[in-house]
Structure 1
Amino acid sequence: MKKAEVVFIPLPAMGHIIAAVELAKLIVERDDRVSASVLMMNPPLDSTTTKYTESLTASTLPNRIRVVHLPSLEHTAVSNMAWMASLAEAQKPHVKEFVLKMKAQSELSPHDSPQLAGFVVDTFVLGMNDLAGEFGVPCLANRLPAKLLPSLVLKRESLASFLGAARRLKHARGILINTFKELESHAINSLSKGEIPPVYPVGPIVRCKGNSYDVGSSQINDYKDIMQWLDDQPPCSVVFLCFGSWGSFSVDQVKEIADALEQCGHRFLWCLRKPPCKGKIESPSDYADFQEILSEDFLDRSAKIGKVIKWAPQVEILGHKAIGGFVSHCGWNSTLESILSGVPIATWPLYGEQQFNAFEMVIELGLAVEIKMDYRKDLSKDGIIVSSEDIQRGLKLLMDPESEIRKKVKEMSQLSRKALMEDGSSFSALAHLIEDIMGN
């Protein structure tokens, strides 16, 4: 039986690595002829990424998936796309060395070892696709919806790198998109008609519940406490606020959020992170005590209807019957998790492509309400202050039990699940992708 090996090269950031690992799982579990290697470039963008990759041991992964850690390089600033391009360029020799060893092994035992069939390269490290040409195999690039351009495009110094990555997509064998046809049918149909590689919408790819990273030894008590609190709340009564692994706010903005929550009166679960020091580009940390940022009066008054937390098992929370709405930064993974769970979103984008995700969800698809769609925050600076009144207005729309948006999200949730089932659109797209892989 012919066997094939696919090499995944994600950007070393949490959302990118998770998507690559989950896609690799889908492929190898669908077809026992295919195996996958996920190459982890170093340095990672934050310590959370390191913890997640360390949790990916052989015992936690399906057979025929291996995680390979490439040698560490000197850590440099992570403020622009040029850094991503230079990281990919510096890691190319290590990737090439790994693939050469893999090919040598397959030549020694051609009947037992899989043959290299292609690379799946993250959009932000598309310079790696040169290696695909060297080895005579195709390159497939991860999701980059054409109209959802990241904040980096607005900076002159990083625009050239971004446009270069976009041009390279034309030379890929295929483009993998973490979406499903029923959600973005117009874009998928449009992209399928031009002179570009085939598009494979294989989502929603969502991190599995019970992931060993999500419930580590230091967080198991937090997890139980959160879920037990949710168990005690009425169905669809809780608004969940969470802004991703890089989401944090200034003291003044936190006060406006607290005031809005108190004034609107909804039950709430708020994941609140501490911003880094001014001028530093690093991920947020935990508050030792929430009285550092929230008044004791607020904590006392809201104790019966609200809970402020340091860390959130997001997939499990969104899937809980008590959750009625999600105030989100509109990262694409979080957006898909919310859709899959049938929970409407109030959009509060921060950086990257999140403003465009928010625009698509609110304006084009009608699956979300707006808090501040054009909010933009540099990772090293505070953004503008969104008023308590604007936040309250968004929360009122979000938690309306009879809203059309709530009904549409429930319908899209059902479609997202059907897409992953046998004969569903994403199930079929994955089958076509595997056919292409085996054809190489």
Structure 2
Amino acid sequence: MSEPAQSNLNKQFANVASNYRGSDIDLHAVYRDMRQNSPVLEDNFMERLGVPSIAGLDANRPTFTLFKYDDVMTVMRDATHFTNGFIAEGLGAFFDGLILTAMDGEAHKNIRNLLQPIFMPETVNRWKETKIDRVIREEYIKPMVAAKSADLMDFALYFPIRVIYSLIGFPEDRPEEIEQYAAWALAILAGPQVDPEKAAAARGAAMEAAKALYEVVKVVVAERRAKGATGDDLISRLICAQYEGRSLDDHEIATFVRSLLPAASETTTRTFGTLMVLLLENPDVLERVRQDRSLVNKAIDESVRLEPVATFKVRQTSEDTVIRGVAIPKGAMVQCIVSSANRDEDAFEQADTFNIDRRAKPSFGFGFGPHMCIGQFVAKTEINCALNAILDLMPNIRLDPSKPAPEIVGAQLRGPHHVHVIWD
């Protein structure tokens, strides 16, 4: 990979992190206070923190913010009374076409039923054996071993991009092009801005990036279709997918794949980084996981509960409703603070503790209900492979005492910027 491609990707990743960082405050302490004193707040709480939120798109719509587990659960599981269609107003300019997150009702259900089988464990486990594990070990971890030190976030930025673009069906012999596509995907994420002076430029850059990404995806879709779509890659499987006689055209496939890309690598990067911080800060837990790999997925799930990357979700009311005695009118925006709900003392014992032995209970790091992240099993499988490879090939991995300790930061798109480690 050339230096410009690498530096552009690093720069875009840093820009996105900065855009969603928010106020420099103890967020978990603030959320604790809100759960106790203002569990339903009539205000756009994220905007208060200086974080762009799709809830603020239309100033004429009131916004309500929820902090308690049960309230967030109620909203996330009820797609009839708390809808997603408004998302197309904000993303529509970036993603016309097939946007699962912006669909409601039967249309959403039918398209999801068509897509879901492609993301089920049977398919992803086959990818794990043929691609994911091999790429992570052979192309990334093994070449790092001799150095005996690294910033794991350098690895974390690149391996999910390499893996997901390979699974999607992009040619594997053009890594510099893939880095450019990934930078475009990050530019789309940086589109929403709080600062009006930056907003126009960022929106323009996001529009250009979205158009460029669509064009390259559509070329790959057309190539796959022309060759009979016989491969096991995501695009070939999307071409062949059918549900009740319905299949997807090239435009729908290209827009769906493009809508996956901003989150597909970004979320995996930050989730992996956060998992490693939590394990490295708890060496006894790390050793238990090293000795018993059946604990890997429990560690992933608990890190997603404790420090989710996507810290809030937004829905719109389809009719007047009441939550905890607060009247919320039809058409209002409802902002669900996932980071707060995941640490609700009424839902989780010792909620601020990283406990991989915790009894399984739904949390909201990958969403919940009908709009739960369709690609979460892919992301978890990538992270599982990465952690297993590290535990196999980097003995006695630990935080580097000569470097700054890692910090998990950000009011949205939360995660560490650096994770400096050494090993024997």
TM-score, normalised via structure 2 length: 0.26
Q: Comparing both chains, which one has the higher relative contact order based on Cα–Cα distances under 8 Å and sequence gaps of 6 or more?
A: 2
Structure label with greater radius of gyration:
1
Q: Whose strand proportion is higher, 1 or 2?
A: 1
TM-score, normalised via structure 1 length: 0.26
Q: Whose helix proportion is higher, 1 or 2?
A: 2
